[in-house]
Amino acid sequence: MTEDSDAEPLRRNVLKMGGAALTGTLLAGCASSLGTTDSTDDDTTTAGDGSTTTGESDDGPYSVSMVPVGDVEFESVPETWVANNGSWADMGVALGLEPPKGLWLPSRYHTQYYDEIPGVSVDKSDMTELWGDSGLGKEQFYALDADVHVMDPNFLINRGQWKESDVDEIRERVGPMFGNCIYAQHYPWHEDYRYYSLYEGFEKLAQVFQRTERYEAFEAIHDDFQQNLAPVVPPASDAPSAAVLWGVGDQPEEYYPYIIGDGTGFKHLRDLGVHDALADTDIKDFHGSRGSIDVETLLEVDPEVLLLRGYEAKTESEFQDTVVSYLEGHSTASDLTAVQNGDVYRAGGLYQGPITNMVLTERTAAQLYGHDGELFDRERVADVVDGNL
């Protein structure tokens, strides 16, 4: 049975969107964006009797509000889910959930980061890749039959080339959409409604799965982490100037430039006080322009540090033996200050959640500032993931 079949039954009424007002939100707006919602976006979960729930419970019904999806009502706690990317997947791990059944690109969900945490691992071998050679097919959403889809519907329209009617169809026939595109804040279609920080998004997901006590425990871990990080970060005048680029291949001649912004994918660099070598140039951010630069253009900027994305699947030694070795032997790239000084590093994954962000921040602190030692309590992270609060 296909997703277009008239015989396809409507999704069981376990999960549903919050009324006609939300349907209007999803169907309103221009063709390029789903617009904003008039819903109040507080930080509480509202129960069906008008009270608020903040603990770990499977009681229902309750609703959770998030821009741009509005108030999403749940009759019971979702059991299965799919997500846009590894930012949300990592939040799920932190909450002790089973991994999402599908991601936009599972290859960019770097589960090797969990090797740092005792007893925590994720098997993504059966995880469905939502984005394929033919684009983003609705049939996959029917096949996965998830209780909730943790993704920004505007992302599906603007990056997945869906229509608003496609979003509404999956919402009504399979399960609700709940999410905001938080990993990068450079998409022009996201300029007219609010973003969420990593921990704001994390709190919302915790409310959806009724695991806010685990969120609060992670928030405390993160507070301690920030205190430990503070003395590692140098004064702004001493911070390095770095260019963040996605290298194309193991012998990169082409690079996609990333301006350090407020998205979750840059949190580790912001927290480390890294100066953006590209920010004051005419080079456009890849998220908005989809453009690239060559080695000659990069040499004109000549950053102190090169932070290269696209190589997280490699170990540090593999990265040095392939990409860095190639740059050192390249007639132009070898003139780069970062290459000559040995300051070329993997930039970390674009999709970061509460666990992976701490792992990457600590790794980058060692690379940039020579910090040696742990900045967060691995055992405490493992305990919270396991539910030992």
The last residue of one of the domains, among 205, 222, 239, is: 222
**Final residue in a domain of this structure, among 222, 254, 279:** 222
**CA separation, residue 126 to residues 87, 100, 122, 134, 185 (Å):** 19, 10, 11, 20, 30
User: Which residue among 206, 222, 238 closes a domain?
Assistant: 222
Number of structural domains (the chain) is 2
Helix 198-208 and helix 212-229, axial crossing angle in degrees, nearest 10: 160
For residues 120-147, give the mean pLDDT. 91
- In which domain, by residue range, is 353 found? 230-385
> In this model, does residue 376 exceed pLDDT 80?
yes
Same-domain check for residues 203 and 237 = no
- Whether 9 maps to a domain, the answer reads no
Measured CA distances, 320 to 245, 308, 323, 326, 356 (Å): 16, 12, 6, 9, 22
Burial class of residue 48 in the structure, from the number of CB atoms within 10 Å of its CB (0-12 exposed, 13-18 middle, 19+ buried): middle
**Can you tell me the mean pLDDT for 28-42?**
41
Q: Classify residue 10: in a domain, yes or no.
A: no
How many other CB atoms sit within 10 Å of the CB of residue 239?
16
| Nearest CA-CA partner of 378 in 41, 196, 155, 115 | 115
**Which 3 state secondary structure label does DSSP give 36?**
coil
Question: Is residue 47 domain-shared with residue 88, that is, in the same domain?
Answer: yes
Whether residues 299 and 215 share a domain: the answer is no
- Mean pLDDT to the nearest integer, 185-206: 94
For residue 186, pLDDT over 50 is answered with yes
Residue 219 has pLDDT above 90, yes or no: yes
The DSSP code for 209 is T
142 in a domain, yes or no? yes
In a domain, 34, yes or no: yes
332-363 confidence digits (pLDDT tens): 999 999 999 999 999 999 999 999 999 999 99
Rounded CA-CA distance 147/82 in Å is 8
Note the Cα 18 to chain centre separation in Å.
25
Q: Say yes or no: 277 and 215 in one domain.
A: no
Whether 8 maps to a domain, the answer reads no
Q: What is the pLDDT of residues 82-99, one digit of tens each?
A: 999 999 999 999 999 999
Answer yes or no: is 354 within a domain: yes
Residue 266 domain-assigned (yes or no): yes
Least confident of 133-147, 157-171, 190-204, 269-283: 133-147
Q: What are phi and psi of 73, to 5 degrees?
A: -100, 135
Distance between CA atoms of residues 13 and 231, nearest Å: 52
CATH classification of the domain holding 51: 3.40.50.1980
In this structure, the answer to whether residues 276 and 380 fall within a common structural domain is yes
Examine the domain organization and report whether 134 and 174 are in the same domain: yes
Residues facing residue 257 across a β-bridge: 245
Q: What is d(CA 99, CA 88) in angstroms, rounded to the nearest whole number?
A: 10
The burial of 9, by beta-carbon neighbours within 10 Å (0-12 exposed, 13-18 middle, 19 or more buried), is given as: exposed
State the number of CA atoms in the 13 A half-sphere of 56 facing the CB: 14
pLDDT of residue 22 exceeding 90 = no
Q: Please tell me whether residues 45 and 122 are part of one structural domain.
A: yes
Please give the Cα distance from 321 to 314 (Å, whole number). 10
Helix (H, G, I), strand (E, B) or coil at 300: helix
pTM of the model: 0.86
Check: CB of residue 174 under 8 Å from CB of residue 11.
yes
CA dist., res. 340 & res. 146, Å (int)? 50
Tokens 């290298």, residue located: 247
**Is residue 351 in a domain?**
yes
Residue-wise over 324-333: b if at least 16 C-beta within 10 A, else e?
Answer: bebbeebeeb
Say yes or no: 291 and 192 in one domain. Answer: no
For the chain, the C-alpha Rg in angstroms (whole number) is: 21
- The reply to whether 200 and 239 lie within a common domain is no
Report which of 380, 379, 124, 367 is spatially closest to residue 268, judged by C-alpha positions. Answer: 367
